[in-house]
Amino acid sequence: MGPKKKGGKDKLARMSSEDRLRYLQHRAAIEEESKRRRDQLVSTYLKNKLRHEELSAKINSAKINQQWRQCLRHLKNKGKRYYAPQHTGRVDWNTSHVFIVCLIQLKSD
């Protein structure tokens, strides 16, 4: 292997002022371009992640709605009168409690 090259400081010291200015502008342009590419890459990644997350949320919501309807149908067919409020998509204690009770009744039958 050959000898190591000297640092960039010596390179700048050996340049004329015009060459140094041009070199520094070139380096700044390269750094700016790499920063722009990195920001674009992060932005694309986050957009894809958000799209995937929205799709998963839509699928999970559909699964919950399907289970909710199945539970209510089952209770209706058995002729049981059970207070079952309409599922609005908003999960609070009351609707989750009713849903859990309904699932337990389905499992026990």
CB–CB of 71/97 below 8 Å?
A: no
Q: Where are the domains positioned within the chain? A: 11-108
Q: What is the CA radius of gyration of the chain?
A: 32
Neighbours of 68 (CB within 10 A): 18
Please say whether the dihedral angle defined by the alpha carbons of residues 41, 45, 46 and 50, taken in this order, is positive or negative.
Answer: positive
pLDDT (tens digit per residue) in 21-78: 899 999 999 999 999 999 999 999 999 999 999 999 999 989 888 888 887 787 777 7
CB–CB of 97/85 below 8 Å?
A: no
CB–CB of 84/103 below 8 Å?
A: no
